């Protein structure tokens, strides 16, 4: 029997009816059409499905959609402000911090949470924050460089 | 170099904005109206006859629209080596027997994935078990079970490469080393699994969206399997979540989706799950190496003999090429007076082994670079010195095989030597190991439809000066869309954002063999450059007439200005000339055409990339665990097109190669892979990735566009050997079978202690 | 694919216990679901009813008391424990262990209670809690009971929890003076599960430096997390030296019952126990001397 689910995604409130077994990633991708967040495995190991839930980076394949009832979710689609890209997105472009791009949504979510919690992380802390996100293309170091550039203030927002 | 306006400078990938905003739609994301979802039923047995398949219960399940089996196919045996029919041995949907755990036997299309999955359980397959064989050495025996009809002792392909007289030369050697090595299987682990959306229309034409390395191959193979005309099959490649060699053969998702869609005239989507990805797609060829090298006491390498037996798995796939290439790469990057390679590819009832980034090179160089260090130690020679002394040089011919034009190895050795000097003396339990390589920049061999490798491209200049670039090259994440756009912009004298590339659609793009064999920068790049030059010529002819100089001058275009080469102040605007040229041609847009086929370049490749890598490790002698501390790579890819992308390729390839050397493996038991999930298949993550330093050694490759060569595949070659050498240098444990695990190092150290103890007694 | 189920989200502990009492073997409890959902996706676990207790805020707390030590609600997330200011001094080993557990994402949603109830012998929390002499509070409609952590896991993925019971709290007593506790796990990939995990807690006599009490807990070395009691006996009443710690390690390796699997052979796991017990013991000693 389907159940009611209310949540806010990228600042927009939604009301859905989902089967209880629906995973959060399925609700986001299929019910809301937000396909930026991907799935790369069935064992909760790859991190491609990472989104931000109530300010925390979580694997959306490992959360029932109903557990996100009342929650605020941010996905990659919610990072840019209209046409203005988030500093992390700009840094990823400048530093080539993606190649095939399939892990990128999850990487950005993990990185954003880190910087929201701790604006001056060490390299070790940056590596820890994306350790749950597998990238098969870049070898990670370009991603570290991109995040570090944001930390170092290279993308200060113009007020 | 500052003489270039576009290439050689860091740029944003042309597909970047879509990828960082989540708006890029991969095959994984495609949803079409009336689309059905498919799932594939696979054999749980490694070797069995299919006696009967009863699909009635599955067909009756509410929500199931169709079930297909081998009986619904034309029975075509598919293979990429199409010019050699005996190597086309894979039906995909098996008709009479299954040959590995995971071999497809049926496929279902249903209203959603859940129903499709339930339906699989309702299909009754009656199998009769056959004896199975998993080890290639066992499979070669006279009494081994026969996997393919008519293939004796399961020997699928053999290869020999030879020059000189190794037996004579070994007699002249002062030092000889003979060793066995083993290289494990490895999974590609693309973040986007194999998948396809197939839409067979009522007009009898098929469209397939799929994550692929070659629209061209998939179009032809699918047409062959379905009995269709190639031109009626349209293959579209959306942004792709990685391939690494796993996606240029026809796979079960593509074929089954197409077959189901053909039956139903509805779009059908099949995305493989991660378990299928690990067990039922092609994987890196496991290889058993027997190597013998000989040298003179002055350090000259004289003779090398190699015998390789590869575990082919159930089908040929691209394994025949891997067999040849591993034998070829076993000779590089050194000059051998004599060389002999014998390779055997043996069928086994295991997952089919094919191409994984490096395509036989990582295996060859693991063995080759390990044994070079071993014989160097015997001769008390420095590992860098022995390599430098014997390395191939520009204009060297690998006898009867290949001709090397540009070669930056010498500069790479200088860089590594400098790096190691700066590293200085290392603390205890740390060691640096070296590996080097030479790698093809564009596989020449074409076993598909013609003997010629080729690429083609087209450039169309519109009235506003915007340029449409048409190519069949595939961007699987490696950045070819950007690199080719840059080459086009450079040649045409415009900016990168004037170029709009069309590379996804077989209906639109000219033929290109695709992204494998490291061919696209050089081959597709040359075709693009030629097309741009053709379009440019049409514009400069116009401009010439407009400027009407008194003396004959060369003309060129740079930064939207068309000018006399020796008198650059005499110039006209590109935009104006474009408009005038089109007007004068009665509204026809400017079209430039280009193509490339290597001429007289031998059987392997027209150009070669090189590199030398130094890996530093720290070993914990009490447990055998080691940590990668730093990896330094000196790399020669000729002219760098996009420096950000090149660095990304260095680091990404190194990570994949390092993973293959110490933590990635597919242990199996009676043909069953024991770790078919990302939880159990270990890969390097951000905390495991060491610091990487990469420097480019500049060379100019005459065969390449603007002197460019491949980057990104060759770099998987040196790391395995370098890590093995580093561990040996750190603690004296020599590991010759991958992966180099802590347990193996621990055992080797214990054995060493034991030997020392014995000697003391 | 997950099999369909009926979803129930009780608002209080009492409600949850009532549901458990009603449905027993027909239901499963989900907290963070970081382990459970993997099993459900593979259809290894197919409950008719899923009771979601993630929202029971009464079970989500970390409370420290100067006399009683720390009480951690079963629904405290790994991340909350990792970041909690209560994880200092004698309890710092808990925060350190959590920091290396899986990934940030898993720690943000997964709970310590869920981890312990999963009964994985390779889990990180159990050996540490055993070394810290922790107990578990378990509730049902029938009442409450406590059980030491070391007695909780009965076999691979099997615990002493009855079908109508819920783990509510983990009680970590205040360590005695001059006690130091440390934990380390061996793996090849940094964030991976333990191939072998070892927690050691040493209590020294004041002034004498002689070991008054020792706890050596092993993870991924047997069907359940276990105490290496004979090895503890080696250290009891003695002055701790490197040699003695190595001896304890050797004894512990004989008590362990490791398996051979794709990660390591049983023989190698025993070798790792030897090495880790000595190393972790040395770290615990240093902490005890500073405490």
Cβ separation B688–C189 shorter than 8 A: yes
- Ranges of chain B with pLDDT below 70: 1-2, 760-761
**What are the C-alpha distances in Å from A112 to residues A105, B16, B137, B673?**
11, 18, 52, 37
Cβ separation C262–B675 shorter than 8 A: yes
- Most C-contacting residue of A67, A121, A130, A134 (CB-CB within 10 A), to test interface: A67
- Ranges of chain C with pLDDT below 70: none
* Res B758: pLDDT: 82
Q: Which residues of B touch C262 (CB under 8 A)?
A: 665, 667, 674-675, 680
Cβ separation C262–B622 shorter than 8 A: no
> Quick one: tokens of A38?
């991907």
Cα–Cα distance measured from residue B675 to residue B537, given in angstroms and rounded to the nearest whole number: 57
* Res A159: pLDDT: 41
* Res B396: pLDDT: 96
Cβ separation A56–C79 shorter than 8 A: yes
Chains touching A (at least 3 CB pairs under 8 A) are B, C
User: How many alpha carbons lie under 13 Å from residue B443 in its C-beta half-sphere?
Assistant: 25
Cβ separation A35–B22 shorter than 8 A: yes
Q: Which residues of A touch B115 (CB under 8 A)?
A: none
Cα–Cα distance measured from residue B188 to residue B357, given in angstroms and rounded to the nearest whole number: 8
Among B117, B675, B685, the residue with its CB nearest the CB of C1 is B117
Among C3, C102, C109, the residue with its CB nearest the CB of A63 is C109
Q: Which residues of A touch B244 (CB under 8 A)?
A: 136
Determine the distance in angstroms separating the CA of C253 from the nearest CA of chain B, rounded to an integer.
14
* Res C128: pLDDT: 98
Chains touching C (at least 3 CB pairs under 8 A) are A, B
A23 at interface of B, judged by CB pairs closer than 8 A = no
Counting one residue from B and one from C, how many pairs have CB atoms under 8 Å apart?
A: 39
The residues, ordered by sequence, that sit 6+ positions from B349 with a Cβ below 8 Å of its Cβ are B46, B47, B99, B100, B132, B133, B134, B145, B147, B314, B671
Where are the extended beta strands (E) located within B116-163? 124-129, 155-163
Closest chain B residue by Cα to residue C265: B743
Exposed / middle / buried, residue B377 (Cβ in 10 Å: 0-12, 13-18, 19+):
middle
Determine the distance in angstroms separating the CA of A154 from the nearest CA of chain C, rounded to an integer.
26
Cβ separation C104–A128 shorter than 8 A: yes
Cβ separation B21–A77 shorter than 8 A: yes
Q: Is there a contact between B375 and B291 (Cβ–Cβ < 8 Å)?
A: no
Dihedral class, residue C90 (left if φ above 0, else alpha if ψ from -120 to 50, else beta): alpha
> Quick one: tokens of B344?
């055997």
> Quick one: tokens of C207?
């002034």
A31 at interface of B, judged by CB pairs closer than 8 A = no
A36 at interface of B, judged by CB pairs closer than 8 A = yes
C250 at interface of B, judged by CB pairs closer than 8 A = no
> Quick one: tokens of B139?
């499979």
Name the β-bridge partners of B630. B616, B691
Cα–Cα distance measured from residue B372 to residue B721, given in angstroms and rounded to the nearest whole number: 10
Q: Is the pTM of this model over 0.95?
A: yes
Cα–Cα distance measured from residue B275 to residue B29, given in angstroms and rounded to the nearest whole number: 19
Exposed / middle / buried, residue B402 (Cβ in 10 Å: 0-12, 13-18, 19+):
buried
* Res B603: pLDDT: 82
- Most C-contacting residue of A57, A108, A112, A130 (CB-CB within 10 A), to test interface: A57
The residues, ordered by sequence, that sit 6+ positions from C85 with a Cβ below 8 Å of its Cβ are none
Q: Which residues of C touch B683 (CB under 8 A)?
A: 189
A110 at interface of C, judged by CB pairs closer than 8 A = yes
Closest chain A residue by Cα to residue C109: A58
A57 at interface of C, judged by CB pairs closer than 8 A = yes
Closest chain B residue by Cα to residue A89: B20
Cβ separation C109–A58 shorter than 8 A: yes
- Most A-contacting residue of C4, C80, C103 (CB-CB within 10 A), to test interface: C103
Q: Which residues of A touch B675 (CB under 8 A)?
A: none
* Res A158: pLDDT: 53
Q: Which residues of B touch C189 (CB under 8 A)?
A: 663, 682-685, 688
Cα–Cα distance measured from residue B512 to residue B515, given in angstroms and rounded to the nearest whole number: 9
Cα–Cα distance measured from residue B37 to residue B589, given in angstroms and rounded to the nearest whole number: 43
Q: What are phi and psi of A66, to 5 degrees?
A: -65, -25
Cβ separation A100–B239 shorter than 8 A: yes
A83 at interface of C, judged by CB pairs closer than 8 A = no
> Quick one: tokens of B199?
């839409």
Cβ separation B687–A131 shorter than 8 A: yes
| B347-359 b/e (C-beta count within 10 Å ≥ 16 → b) | bbbbbbbbbbbbb
Cβ separation B622–C275 shorter than 8 A: yes
Cβ separation C271–B746 shorter than 8 A: yes
The residues, ordered by sequence, that sit 6+ positions from B757 with a Cβ below 8 Å of its Cβ are none
B688 at interface of C, judged by CB pairs closer than 8 A = yes
3-class state of residue C136 by DSSP? strand
- Ranges of chain A with pLDDT below 50: 159
Closest chain A residue by Cα to residue B477: A100
* Res B645: pLDDT: 96
> Quick one: tokens of B534?
């053709």
- Most B-contacting residue of C3, C188, C242 (CB-CB within 10 A), to test interface: C188
């Amino acid at each position: 029997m389907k159940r009611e689910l209310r949540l806010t995604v990228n600042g927009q409130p939604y009301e859905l009816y989902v089967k209880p077994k629906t995973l959060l990633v399925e609700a986001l991708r299929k019910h809301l059409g937000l396909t930026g967040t991907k799935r790369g495995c069935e064992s909760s190991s790859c991190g491609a499905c990472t989104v931000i839930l109530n300010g925390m980076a979580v694997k959306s394949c490992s959360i029932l959609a109903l557990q996100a009832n009342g929650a605020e979710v941010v996905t990659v689609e919610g990072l840019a402000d209209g046409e203005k890209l988030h500093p992390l997105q700009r840094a990823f472009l400048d530093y080539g911090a993606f190649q095939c791009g399939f892990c990128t949504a999850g990487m950005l979510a993990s990185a954003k949470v880190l910087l929201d919690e701790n604006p001056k992380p060490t390299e070790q802390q940056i590596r820890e924050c994306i350790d749950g996100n597998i990238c098969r293309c870049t070898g990670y170091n370009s991603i570290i460089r991109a995040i570090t550039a944001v930390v170092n203030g290279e993308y200060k927002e113009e007020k | 170099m500052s003489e270039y306006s576009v290439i050689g400078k860091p740029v944003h990938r042309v597909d970047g904005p879509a990828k960082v905003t989540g708006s890029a739609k991969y095959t994984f994301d495609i949803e079409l109206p009336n689309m059905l979802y498919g799932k594939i039923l696979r054999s749980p047995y490694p070797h069995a006859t299919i006696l009967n398949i009863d699909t009635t219960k599955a067909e009756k399940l509410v929500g199931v629209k169709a079930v297909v089996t081998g009986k619904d196919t034309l029975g075509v045996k598919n293979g990429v080596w199409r010019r050699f029919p005996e190597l086309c041995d894979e039906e995909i949907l098996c008709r009479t027997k299954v040959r590995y755990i995971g071999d497809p036997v049926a496929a279902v299309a249903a209203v959603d994935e859940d129903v499709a999955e339930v339906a699989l359980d309702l299909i009754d397959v009656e199998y009769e078990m056959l004896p199975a064989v998993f080890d290639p050495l066992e499979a070669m025996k006279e009494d081994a079970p026969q996997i393919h009809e008519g293939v004796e002792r399961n020997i699928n392909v053999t290869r020999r490469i030879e020059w000189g007289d190794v037996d004579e030369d070994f007699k002249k050697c002062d030092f000889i080393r003979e060793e066995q090595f083993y290289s494990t299987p490895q999974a590609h682990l693309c973040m986007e699994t194999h998948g396809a959306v197939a839409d067979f229309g009522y007009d009898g034409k098929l469209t397939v969206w799929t994550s692929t390395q070659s629209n061209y191959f998939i179009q032809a193979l699918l047409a062959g399997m379905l009995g269709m005309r190639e031109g009626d099959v349209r293959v579209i490649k959306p942004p792709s979540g990685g391939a690494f060699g796993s996606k240029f053969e026809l796979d079960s998702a593509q074929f089954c989706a197409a077959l189901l869609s053909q039956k139903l005239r509805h779009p059908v989507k099949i995305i493989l799950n991660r378990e299928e990805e690990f067990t039922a797609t092609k994987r890196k060829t496991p290889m058993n190496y027997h190597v013998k090298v000989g040298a003179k006491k002055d350090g000259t390498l004289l003779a090398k003999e190699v015998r390789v037996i590869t575990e082919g798995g159930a089908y040929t796939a691209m394994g025949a090429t891997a067999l040849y290439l591993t034998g070829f790469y076993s000779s590089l990057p050194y000059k051998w007076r004599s060389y002999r390679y014998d390779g055997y590819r043996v069928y086994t009832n295991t997952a089919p082994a094919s191409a994984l980034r490096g395509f036989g090179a990582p295996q060859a160089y693991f063995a080759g670079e390990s044994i070079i260090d071993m014989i160097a130690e015997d001769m008390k020679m420095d590992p860098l010195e022995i390599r430098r002394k014997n390395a191939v040089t520009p204009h060297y011919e690998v006898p009867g095989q290949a001709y090397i034009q540009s070669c930056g190895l010498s500069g790479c050795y200088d860089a590594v030597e400098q790096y190691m000097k700066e590293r200085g003396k290392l603390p205890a339990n740390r060691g640096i190991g070296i590996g080097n390589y030479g790698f093809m920049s564009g596989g020449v061999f074409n076993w598909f439809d013609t003997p010629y490798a080729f690429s083609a491209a087209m450039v169309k200049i519109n009235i506003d000066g915007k340029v449409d670039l048409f190519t069949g090259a595939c961007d699987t994440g490696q950045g070819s869309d950007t690199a080719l756009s840059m080459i086009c912009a450079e040649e045409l004298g415009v900016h990168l954002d004037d170029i709009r590339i069309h590379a996804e659609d077989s209906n639109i793009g000219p033929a290109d063999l695709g992204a494998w064999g490291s061919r696209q920068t050089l081959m597709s790049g040359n075709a693009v450059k030629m097309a741009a030059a053709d379009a440019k010529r049409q514009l400069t002819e116009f401009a010439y007439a407009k400027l009407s100089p008194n003396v004959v001058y060369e003309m060129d275009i740079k930064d939207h200005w068309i000018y006399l080469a020796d008198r650059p102040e005499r110039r006209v605007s590109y935009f104006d000339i474009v408009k005038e040229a089109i007007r004068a041609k009665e509204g026809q847009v400017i079209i430039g055409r280009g193509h490339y086929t290597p001429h007289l370049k031998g059987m392997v490749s027209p150009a070669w990339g090189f590199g030398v890598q130094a890996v530093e490790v720290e070993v914990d002698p009490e447990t055998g665990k080691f940590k990668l501390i730093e990896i330094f790579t000196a790399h020669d890819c000729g002219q760098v097109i996009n420096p950000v992308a090149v660095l990304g390729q260095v680091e990404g390839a190194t990570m994949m190669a390092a993973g293959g050397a110490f933590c990635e493996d597919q242990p199996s038991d009676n043909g069953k892979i024991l770790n078919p999930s990302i939880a159990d298949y270990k890969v390097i993550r951000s905390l495991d990735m060491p610091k990487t330093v990469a420097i480019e050694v500049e060379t100019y490759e005459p065969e390449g566009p603007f002197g460019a060569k491949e980057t990104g595949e060759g770099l998987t070659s040196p790391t395995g050997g370098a890590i093995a050498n580093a561990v040996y240098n750190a603690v004296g444990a020599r590991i010759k079978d991958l992966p180099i695990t802590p347990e193996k190092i621990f055992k080797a150290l214990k054995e060493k202690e034991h030997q020392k103890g014995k000697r003391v007694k | 694919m997950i099999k369909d189920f009926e979803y129930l989200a009780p608002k209080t502990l009492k409600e949850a216990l009532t549901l458990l009492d009603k449905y027993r073997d027909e239901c499963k409890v989900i907290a963070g679901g970081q382990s459970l959902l993997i099993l459900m996706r593979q259809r290894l676990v197919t409950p008719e009813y899923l009771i979601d207790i993630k929202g029971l805020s009464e079970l989500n707390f970390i409370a420290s008391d100067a006399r009683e030590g720390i009480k951690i609600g079963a629904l405290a997330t790994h991340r909350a424990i990792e970041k909690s200011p209560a994880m200092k001094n004698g309890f710092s080993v808990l925060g350190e262990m959590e920091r290396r557990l899986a990934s940030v994402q898993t720690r943000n949603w997964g709970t310590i209670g869920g981890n312990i109830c999963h009964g994985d012998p390779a889990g990180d929390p159990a050996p540490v809690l055993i070394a810290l002499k922790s107990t578990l509070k378990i509730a049902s409609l029938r009442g409450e009971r406590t059980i030491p952590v070391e007695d909780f896991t009965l076999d691979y993925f099997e615990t002493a929890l009855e079908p109508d019971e819920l783990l509510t709290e983990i009680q970590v007593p205040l360590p005695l003076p001059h006690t130091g506790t440390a934990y380390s796990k061996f793996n090849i990939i940094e964030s991976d599960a333990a191939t072998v995990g070892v927690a050691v807690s040493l209590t020294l006599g004041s002034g004498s430096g002689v070991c008054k009490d020792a706890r050596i807990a092993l993870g991924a070395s047997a069907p359940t997390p276990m105490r290496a009691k004979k090895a503890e006996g080696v250290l009891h009443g003695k002055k701790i030296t490197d040699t003695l710690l190595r001896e304890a390690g050797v004894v512990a390796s004989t008590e362990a019952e490791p398996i051979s699997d794709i990660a390591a052979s049983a023989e190698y796991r025993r070798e790792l126990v030897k090495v880790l017990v000595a190393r972790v013991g040395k770290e615990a000693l240093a902490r005890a001397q500073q405490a």
